[in-house]
Structure 1
Amino acid sequence: MGQQLQHLWHRYKSVLAYLFFGGLTTVVNYLVFWIFNMFCSYLIANTFAWFLSVLFAYVTNKLWVFDAKTPTVRARLKEATSFFGFRLLSYFVDQGIMIVGISFLHGNDLIVKLIDQVLIVVLNWFFSKLFIFKDRDV
């Protein structure tokens, strides 16, 4: 039984860690959105939430989810650029969901944001796993 659990842990470690830290990133995003949404438009609040949660996500993804080893400055720069570039892509998807959900469908800001974040976490996992934190020779 112990070996089976250990095997499952090693096999799904990155997915489980991503779900945990993705959940924390979602909490950061949601809380920042909630706070800023009280003082400015939902699009500006969403931009602040995106920026702060991406900073949090980069550190946690690099260190604890994908255990990315980047031995050179050039490799770290390439990795960070890739991470922020793909997150910028998901930012536009994020903003699009918010615009449709709030401005066109007249949904509640916080409910739309919650639904939005579930979709964005899945999208970002694929970007991170397939393109960003893969083994590099650089």
Structure 2
Amino acid sequence: MLNRVFYKYKELILYGFFGVLTVIVNIISFKLLLILNIPLLYANTVAFFIAVLFAYYTNTKYVFNDKFTKKNFISFISMRISTLFIDNMGLYYLVSISVDELIAKSIINIIIILINYICSKFIIFKKK
């Protein structure tokens, strides 16, 4: 029974698993950059791109079982860059109202994961 549930929801489970790993990559990168005294929004932007590269690799290879193509890569990066605005503005807002920066980063990442899954599933890695 557990196997049936896994196979029925395999894509969603794998997306969630790699989404959590992507958030961890993002947060660790972010924190390390802050330790290096990189300004908040610069650290967030660099951490974001590190996490996006990790996410592209894992989404393509493990979640959606697709080929690494220039078109997919450009679409994926473009979509993720569009969520960078949400990431930076949300982080800036939450920190400005005294939410701890790591808690703020985690909250924003949950929202972005949902947006990214919808775009990845139905636009970038859409089955033909």
TM category, shorter: over 0.9
TM-score, normalised via structure 1 length: 0.86
Structure 2 gap ranges (5+): none
1:21 maps onto 2:25 in alignment:
no
1:9-68 deviations in Å (ceiling 9; x for gaps): 221000000011111000000000111122121101101110100000000000000111
Correspondence list, 1:1-138, <5 A: 4-38=1-35, 39-69=37-67, 76-103=69-96, 105-136=97-128
Letter in 1 for 2:14: A
TM-score, normalised via structure 2 length: 0.92
Contact 1:62–1:68 (CA under 8 A) maintained in structure 2:
yes
Structure 1 gap ranges (5+): 71-75
Indicate the structure (1 or 2) with the bigger Cα radius of gyration. 1
Q: How far 1:102 moved relative to its partner? A: 1.2
Contact 1:98–1:116 (CA under 8 A) maintained in structure 2:
yes
Alpha-carbon distance in structure 2 between the residues aligned to 1:25 and 1:6: 25
The count of residues paired between Structure 1 and Structure 2 equals: 127
Contact 1:42–1:109 (CA under 8 A) maintained in structure 2:
no
Q: How far 1:5 moved relative to its partner? A: 3.0
Alpha-carbon distance in structure 2 between the residues aligned to 1:22 and 1:51: 14
User: Which residue number corresponds to residue 73 of structure 1?
Assistant: none
Alpha-carbon RMSD across the aligned residues, in angstroms, is 1.3
Alpha-carbon distance in structure 1 between the residues aligned to 2:49 and 2:67: 24
| Paired-residue identity, % | 36
1:79-106 deviations in Å (ceiling 9; x for gaps): 1111001101111111110111113x12
